[in-house]
Structure 1
Amino acid sequence: AKMVIAVDMSDMIYDAMAIAKENNIDESKIVFIHGRIEDVKLPVDKVMNRFYSQK
């Protein structure tokens, strides 16, 4: 992918940000958004979703 936009409304997004930084992921390649995917208005080619529940 040329660019990845990661959206999550839980605090897990901050863990993902830390992991990306630890792995020297280029900040121009991935954008992290703390919020609801329904509220994000961005031009994208594909949307991928992984549903999980926290028990």
Structure 2
Amino acid sequence: MKERGQITNQHDEMTELSLMFNELMNSLKQAFRQQQFIEDASHELKTPLSIIHGHLSR
């Protein structure tokens, strides 16, 4: 996801398209980071919660 549209000083349709493409890529990158954080946090919490659950269910 390192690809980005080239931005020029011209105010034409290609520059607008490049700006929109770059914004889309930034949004996608942020969404993937958030999803990765959720997956990592879930994984890290699973073991302690399982241990607590095991102690409480005895």
Q: Provide TM-score, normalisation by structure 1.
A: 0.29
Q: Provide TM-score, normalisation by structure 2.
A: 0.27
Higher relative contact order (CA 8 A, sep 6+): 1
Structure richer in helix, relative to its length: 2
Structure richer in strand, relative to its length: 1
| Higher gyration radius (CA) | 2
